[in-house]
Each structure stands twice: as C-alpha cells, then as structure tokens.
Amino acid sequence: MRNKKSAWEELSKKRNGTYGKSTFTKHENVIFQYKNTSIVLDRYTTMVGSTPIMNTRIRSIFKNPTRLSFKLYHEGFFSSLSKMLGMQDILIGDDEFDQRFVVKSNDEIKIRQLLSDYKLKQLLFFGKPITLEIKLKDKCLNSKDESILLYQATGVIKDIDTLENILNIFERFIDHMIEIGLSNESQINSVLKP
C-alpha cells in the first residue's frame, strides 16, 4: 500500500517548492522561491511545562529600508478587553477590516497605506484567523535594512487551502510593499534556514 503524501509535500509540488525534512527533528519543511527571497514553511516545538506543542511557521526575509514593523491579528475577547483598557489599535478606515483585525505598528501612516490594498485585505479575510507580523530583529538577519515577515500558528496546519492562502498573503504583501515604495527587489543578504 502506498503512503499518502503529506499536505506539505503536495503543496510543494503544486507551488514548485523544495520539500525536505530536518535531519535533526525529522519535521517537514518547504522552501518556495519568490522574487528576490525565499518563503520558508516549517514547524517547530515549544514546551508548555513538560508538554511539547507543535507549531506551524511561515517566514520570509524582505528589504525594509523604512524599518516598518507591525503586528496584525484577529479581534477576540482579550483584544476587545485590552482596547477598553487603552491598548492602541490602528484603524485603517475600512469598517469590516477594523472590526475583524487588531493592528499595531511603529508607523500609522505607512501601515494604513499598506493595508489599504484590496487584494491583500481579501486574502486576509479568507479562511482561518491569522496573526502576521514584521520582525525587525532576528538572529538570522545580517543587514539593518532587512526584516522578517512572520506567520505562526499553534498546531500543524495540514489544510492545503489554508497554507496556500498564507503563501498568497506573503506574496501579495511583498509585491505591495514594493509597489508603494516601502521595499525593493535588491539582493537579500540574510538566509532563513528551516
């Protein structure tokens, strides 16, 4: 009997990625090339007490000369409570978007410009709740004008549509950053490893 391919392996073939497994952890990973960067899909384990928790992570390094940072996540009970207690949430002027997402950033004007993109908003509306952020600092970054676009979720995502939507968000995000002059396609100096 033939083994069924994993969703990650299928996605790799569908999107021309490179499928592999970590030699140390044996966890699956997929690397996709997009423009001047790579998008890395992998998983890692965190410990909660003595219980190991598997997580899904998607990352990409991009040029970020403006040093824009942000965190975007779905509105929930705790974020609603935090807002009532004074947590800042940037409103982008789209009622549906502003009701569904909490946005924090170091530059309100630039993040509004970035999140005004219709295609990006439609991708963010699709599917399961998402948390997306730009990290300005990481041990793998070798240049001050590079940052990491990061998605993390508890558990291993096995649904191809969900994974593909997140890849589409990353691609649209990178494209729109370039379109509005917040990024460029010059050579990436840092390398992400799964």
E strands along the chain, which residues?
18-21, 28-34, 37-48, 51-63, 70-74, 101-105, 131-135, 146-154
Give, in order, the Cα–Cα distances in Å from 183 to each of 30, 47, 67, 168.
24, 36, 10, 18
- Confidence (pLDDT) at 66: 93
Whole-number Å distance between alpha carbons of 163 and 148: 18
Whole-number Å distance between alpha carbons of 56 and 126: 18
- Confidence (pLDDT) at 81: 47
Whole-number Å distance between alpha carbons of 178 and 77: 35
- Confidence (pLDDT) at 127: 67
- Confidence (pLDDT) at 63: 92
- Confidence (pLDDT) at 3: 47
Spans in the chain with pLDDT lower than 70: 1-5, 76-88, 127
- Confidence (pLDDT) at 4: 53
- Confidence (pLDDT) at 1: 37
